[in-house]
A and B are shown apart, each in its own frame.
Chain A
């Protein structure tokens, strides 16, 4: 590798994966070039209506990312551009980019849209898959970033009308493709996915029958910005359907396309739920093979859909026929258990098409010089983030079909890999964001602008937005009010900035979604117009109004007016505030020394950060110590030993074994953690400031020591459920998969004597007490079934299951297992198998025949496919047990003040877009503490992602403190200390001080880094001596009075 590394990274693909990688890298001090072949970034997610399993609006979720990327000073967007060639090597690539001619000058186009309004051509709207048309000069979608029009040269007549109407003279017909050379140190490939073309699979009539749609077309149908404006209609006659059928696995799980697309079961369920919201009384039917709800919260969502009336039929339709006249569709299928084919009529059919890598991505692989698998996905090394070429990393469905959070995780992981490669040139090519000078609003009377958001139909479908806007316009001090389809889109933000200037606004109220996701975006928007960040107020008329009062539109409109009135009342009193910068601690604490913890620690340590790794057990390795095989034919124990070796010998990692977290104080940049050593080598009471070598190493059981660090990564893992079912613990021949794997690794000769092994899935999973899917057990069973077949081909292996959930590329191993003779028998949820000894025997003993041979166990199962009872003899019964949270996870959650899910796993900040962050800044999450993970690859990926996210914090020189925190008015505080104990963040301390006259007095002081501005102190103070900036009592009083209509 060359010494002259470049501190810049090329990210290829502007979808959610590419955007995440770009943002992480840019935040961590690298210059990023974000290459996108389409005219705008956003990728597939920008086409989606809502997302499972929360039903959050995809556009609302992605909009802050779009504008974040578009406005980031360290990210340069190269849209409508393609990679031409790559030379050089890791650390220093020479890249050539072809910037295609848009025929519209990016620097001049204001996105006003006059060109499209006057264009005489009506061309296919590719964004809406041809369900409607658009002009030859177009913007891909309303919220497009950058908001620059593009001429579709193939459809353009060349009449020249657009040039004549373009005010800023942005149209340029002489534009040519341009080549651009870049130097980058690393490349992240995130070219995304496409859907299988169902026209190839003729039996479903796609392309012939107008009322057969692909799932992506239907997604656009459901979208408020889609061709039908969110109304569910049939393309043939524009009528609302009454019966919609969804057919799963179209283009997936076939011999020639040997993978599961991993998202279709869930997206079909989501589409059913959303469509049923749009069309009351709609009947939705899903035809499927196995229902693969393997992710966090997925099974609960599936359950919800069933309760809402979605009909799931476990059968694959053989054909679809169109009824002449009505153009309804008759689906032929064989219902389960019966087998006799039946026909059923539907008004609309949606084909749940599988995912595949795009042809453009396969071309890209050639140019990048990276290898593909025979299925056309990107081949990765042992680490699922590395491609076959050093310095080029991969994320998203290009590597394997996956959903949004998995893509985001992999993107942060790929970014982390690039950060590690380029750690020593971090910060060499970046510049801070420059804002215009701040407008001094002191002494000015309030001039409030109110912007009411339609949020597509999310708000406008329930609330009368026009009425709310008119109402806002008449409120005191409101000088301007407007409404937008999506207030968060680039053009709407431009309108807000223009209104600030034109109307001299000095306070801005946006009535829209939630400050949780959108406040920073709007604050940034008004700051760009010169207003202080904090002269902004958000009225939540979506989450707290339109979503919860869907059935009461009139009352919701009145409530929205109330909320706007309250926000305006407060806005009239808000003041400019300044953010503070503080020095902070750049070390990390990783809790948990399993695969995830070690990987995260190494990734950070390789980037030059000092890491403390705390492990409760006496050795590193966690669950991986019991892993002997991987489906990918990698030796896990060899990997583990090298990981442990690297961790223990790394100069930047300090490992503490037999140690547990006793207390955590402080906040991002300034954590202090007390570690309790069970048998530790560090002197009790030691306050560890690195380098450690200066410390005496000794110690006794129960001693404590203290660590100082800037971030925390939680990697505490999970554990297998201890079963009580199926004679486990009573008969030695009943064992868990992990125990069986141990035998597979050690006792070959004994295993060869086995006639029959029966595996039982979902032991302890997907039951009322533990309603989630444990995700890894299906592939674990397949792995061990293949292993025993390898050792002893004559042994009969049965897997008793409810759904086989070998998602993504795991599907091929499921097929391999069937081909190897493993028998898969499905049982219904309410008819679990019964395991019995052949004869009644005492617990712990084994029934024998006359010759002293052990009699096999007997397993009875009602085979749902055959519709009959099957009796199996088993020499071993292997239980695929649930993965459950650590029993002390709750304790750690309390110490860190982070939430957990109902199932007991740690709860990330946002299910889709922040899957490795906690809501509390500076705390990150990875591995099975988050949710069960596929052996090795998923844990490694998320661990790298957590390290990458942590590095975005640690790489900064200073940390910015939010000013919306508590403040003590010294002269009013008499030191009563009522506020000290109730503070949930331990941010308040009582101090003694000398007055000028020499008196000793008491008062409280606030730790600005620990305070979260919750306001508890303000509520407890009897003297009015403590307040929270931006939430002062007069501001809250004004809101309250406004709520009361006074």
Chain B
């Protein structure tokens, strides 16, 4: 249902913008661009925005992954179908999420790892 899909996306967006790490970083924008960073060097607006955009984009896809994994244990292929992201990209994000302890491998079926959210338990 498209309505639920939009709702899900909105929920994800809300989660992303309330991420404390990203909020703190966004709050540093003026300091980093205008006043200079902790080493006294100024970062160009372009450079900072590129960095922040990527950080937000990464966070979006990770939240999408987490949302999907809360519902079911999924393979990268299945996640790729749901999110439209390439397997190699998803794999990288899953590694980060594993590092942070939010995702783990539930089991391996026919050489394919199925991931689950650790919050699902």
Residues of A within 8 A of B (CB): 118, 120, 122, 131-133, 153, 156-161, 163, 173, 210, 227-229, 231, 233, 235-242, 279
Q: Is the CB of B38 within 8 A of A173?
A: yes
Q: Is the CB of A158 within 8 A of B95?
A: no
B18 is an interface residue with CB less than 8 A from chain A: no
Taking CB atoms and an 8 Å cut-off, the chain B residues in 12-36 that contact chain A are: 21-22, 24-25, 28, 31-32
Shortest CB-to-CB span from A204 to chain B, Å, is: 20
B51 is an interface residue with CB less than 8 A from chain A: yes
Q: Which A residue sits closest to B80, measured CB to CB?
A: A237
Shortest CB-to-CB span from A287 to chain B, Å, is: 23
For residue A153, which residues in chain B have a CB less than 8 angstroms away from its CB?
39
Q: Is the CB of B87 within 8 A of A236?
A: yes
Q: Is the CB of A159 within 8 A of B28?
A: yes
Q: Is the CB of A228 within 8 A of B76?
A: no
Choose among A160, A210, A236 the residue that contacts B38 (Cβ–Cβ < 8 A): A160
Q: Assuming A157-B43, A241-B111, is B99 touching A132 (CB within 8 A)?
A: yes
Shortest CB-to-CB span from A26 to chain B, Å, is: 37
Instruction: Give Cα distance in the complex from A173 to B36, angstroms.
Output: 13
Q: Assuming A157-B32, A173-B38, is B55 touching A238 (CB within 8 A)?
A: no
B67 is an interface residue with CB less than 8 A from chain A: no
Q: Is the CB of B88 within 8 A of A237?
A: yes
Extra 13 A-B pairs, beta carbons < 8 Å, given A157-B32, A159-B38: A120-B22, A133-B96, A156-B39, A157-B51, A158-B32, A158-B43, A159-B25, A238-B90, A238-B94, A238-B113, A239-B113, A241-B111, A242-B111
Most B CB within 10 A of own CB, among A153, A156, A238: A238
Q: Is the CB of B25 within 8 A of A161?
A: yes
Q: Which A residue sits closest to B47, measured CB to CB?
A: A157
Instruction: Give Cα distance in the complex from A163 to B37, angstroms.
Output: 12
Choose among B25, B31, B90, B113 the residue that contacts A233 (Cβ–Cβ < 8 A): B113
Shortest CB-to-CB span from A444 to chain B, Å, is: 38
Instruction: Give Cα distance in the complex from A227 to B105, angstroms.
Output: 13
For residue B53, which residues in chain A have a CB less than 8 angstroms away from its CB?
none
Instruction: Give Cα distance in the complex from A163 to B87, angstroms.
Output: 36
Instruction: Give Cα distance in the complex from A242 to B108, angstroms.
Output: 13
> Can you report 14 A-B residue pairs in the complex whose CB atoms are below 8 A from each other?
A122-B58, A132-B92, A156-B39, A158-B32, A158-B37, A158-B38, A160-B31, A161-B21, A229-B98, A231-B113, A237-B76, A238-B113, A239-B113, A240-B112
Residues of B within 8 A of A (CB): 21-22, 24-25, 28, 31-32, 37-39, 41, 43, 51, 55, 58, 76-77, 87-88, 90-92, 94-96, 98-99, 105, 108, 111-113
Rank and list the top 9 A-B pairs by shortest CB-CB distance, nearest first. A158-B37, A238-B91, A240-B111, A237-B87, A173-B38, A158-B38, A160-B38, A120-B25, A159-B28
Choose among A118, A158, A231 the residue that contacts B39 (Cβ–Cβ < 8 A): A158
Instruction: Give Cα distance in the complex from A1017 to B38, angstroms.
Output: 69
Interface of B is mostly: helix
Q: Which B residue sits closest to A161, measured CB to CB?
A: B24
Q: Which A residue sits closest to B104, measured CB to CB?
A: A229
Instruction: Give Cα distance in the complex from A237 to B95, angstroms.
Output: 12
Q: Is the CB of B98 within 8 A of A235?
A: no
Shortest CB-to-CB span from B109 to chain A, Å, is: 10
Q: Assuming A122-B58, A235-B91, is B38 touching A240 (CB within 8 A)?
A: no
Most A CB within 10 A of own CB, among B22, B24, B58, B77: B24
Instruction: Give Cα distance in the complex from A227 to B98, angstroms.
Output: 9
Q: Is the CB of A228 within 8 A of B95?
A: yes
Most A CB within 10 A of own CB, among B88, B95, B113: B95
Instruction: Give Cα distance in the complex from A160 to B35, angstroms.
Output: 13
Q: Is the CB of A157 within 8 A of B37?
A: yes
Q: Which A residue sits closest to B77, measured CB to CB?
A: A237
For residue A159, which residues in chain B have a CB less than 8 angstroms away from its CB?
24-25, 28, 32, 37-38
Instruction: Give Cα distance in the complex from A240 to B110, angstroms.
Output: 8
Instruction: Give Cα distance in the complex from A133 to B93, angstroms.
Output: 10
Q: Is the CB of B37 within 8 A of A238?
A: no
Q: Is the CB of B99 within 8 A of A239?
A: no
For residue B31, which residues in chain A have a CB less than 8 angstroms away from its CB?
160
For residue A229, which residues in chain B have a CB less than 8 angstroms away from its CB?
98
Choose among B24, B25, B58, B87 the residue that contacts A238 (Cβ–Cβ < 8 A): B87
Instruction: Give Cα distance in the complex from A527 to B43, angstroms.
Output: 50
Shortest CB-to-CB span from A701 to chain B, Å, is: 73
Q: Is the CB of B105 within 8 A of A231?
A: yes
For residue A227, which residues in chain B have a CB less than 8 angstroms away from its CB?
95
Choose among B39, B76, B87, B111 the residue that contacts A173 (Cβ–Cβ < 8 A): B39
Q: Is the CB of B41 within 8 A of A158?
A: yes
Instruction: Give Cα distance in the complex from A236 to B99, angstroms.
Output: 19
Instruction: Give Cα distance in the complex from A516 to B49, angstroms.
Output: 55
For residue B41, which residues in chain A have a CB less than 8 angstroms away from its CB?
158
Instruction: Give Cα distance in the complex from A120 to B22, angstroms.
Output: 7
For residue B51, which residues in chain A have a CB less than 8 angstroms away from its CB?
157
Q: Which B residue sits closest to A163, measured CB to CB?
A: B38
Shortest CB-to-CB span from B21 to chain A, Å, is: 6
Instruction: Give Cα distance in the complex from A591 to B77, angstroms.
Output: 66
For residue A120, which residues in chain B have a CB less than 8 angstroms away from its CB?
21-22, 24-25, 55
For residue A131, which residues in chain B have a CB less than 8 angstroms away from its CB?
95
For residue B21, which residues in chain A have a CB less than 8 angstroms away from its CB?
118, 120, 161
Q: Is the CB of B43 within 8 A of A235?
A: no
Q: Which B residue sits closest to A128, measured CB to CB?
A: B95
Q: Is the CB of A237 within 8 A of B37?
A: no
Q: Which A residue sits closest to B37, measured CB to CB?
A: A158
Instruction: Give Cα distance in the complex from A981 to B12, angstroms.
Output: 79
For residue A132, which residues in chain B have a CB less than 8 angstroms away from its CB?
92, 95-96, 99
Q: Which B residue sits closest to A232, measured CB to CB?
A: B111
For residue B92, which residues in chain A have a CB less than 8 angstroms away from its CB?
132-133
For residue B55, which residues in chain A have a CB less than 8 angstroms away from its CB?
120
For residue B99, which residues in chain A have a CB less than 8 angstroms away from its CB?
132
For residue B112, which residues in chain A have a CB less than 8 angstroms away from its CB?
239-240
Instruction: Give Cα distance in the complex from A242 to B111, angstroms.
Output: 8
Shortest CB-to-CB span from A348 to chain B, Å, is: 11
For residue A279, which residues in chain B have a CB less than 8 angstroms away from its CB?
111
Q: Is the CB of B22 within 8 A of A160?
A: no
Shortest CB-to-CB span from B76 to chain A, Å, is: 5
Instruction: Give Cα distance in the complex from A160 to B32, angstroms.
Output: 10
Instruction: Give Cα distance in the complex from A228 to B21, angstroms.
Output: 25
Q: Which A residue sits closest to B54, measured CB to CB?
A: A122
Instruction: Give Cα distance in the complex from A156 to B95, angstroms.
Output: 22
Q: Is the CB of B88 within 8 A of A210?
A: yes
Shortest CB-to-CB span from B94 to chain A, Å, is: 7
Q: Which A residue sits closest to B88, measured CB to CB?
A: A236
For residue B105, which residues in chain A have a CB less than 8 angstroms away from its CB?
231
Shortest CB-to-CB span from A72 to chain B, Å, is: 33
Q: Is the CB of A235 within 8 A of B88?
A: yes
Instruction: Give Cα distance in the complex from A227 to B93, angstroms.
Output: 12
For residue A122, which residues in chain B have a CB less than 8 angstroms away from its CB?
58, 96
Instruction: Give Cα distance in the complex from A159 to B91, angstroms.
Output: 28
Most A CB within 10 A of own CB, among B37, B91, B96: B91
Q: Which A residue sits closest to B26, measured CB to CB?
A: A120
For residue B32, which residues in chain A have a CB less than 8 angstroms away from its CB?
157-159
Q: Which A residue sits closest to B76, measured CB to CB?
A: A238
Instruction: Give Cα distance in the complex from A148 to B105, angstroms.
Output: 30
For residue B94, which residues in chain A have a CB less than 8 angstroms away from its CB?
238
Q: Which A residue sits closest to B95, measured CB to CB?
A: A132
Shortest CB-to-CB span from A691 to chain B, Å, is: 66
Q: Is the CB of B113 within 8 A of A240?
A: yes
Instruction: Give Cα distance in the complex from A229 to B113, angstroms.
Output: 13
Shortest CB-to-CB span from A902 to chain B, Å, is: 38
Shortest CB-to-CB span from A140 to chain B, Å, is: 15
For residue A239, which residues in chain B have a CB less than 8 angstroms away from its CB?
76, 111-113
Shortest CB-to-CB span from B30 to chain A, Å, is: 12
Shortest CB-to-CB span from B33 to chain A, Å, is: 11
Shortest CB-to-CB span from B73 to chain A, Å, is: 14
Q: Which A residue sits closest to B98, measured CB to CB?
A: A229
For residue B113, which residues in chain A have a CB less than 8 angstroms away from its CB?
231, 233, 238-240
Instruction: Give Cα distance in the complex from A929 to B21, angstroms.
Output: 62
Instruction: Give Cα distance in the complex from A122 to B58, angstroms.
Output: 10
For residue A238, which residues in chain B have a CB less than 8 angstroms away from its CB?
76, 87, 90-91, 94, 113
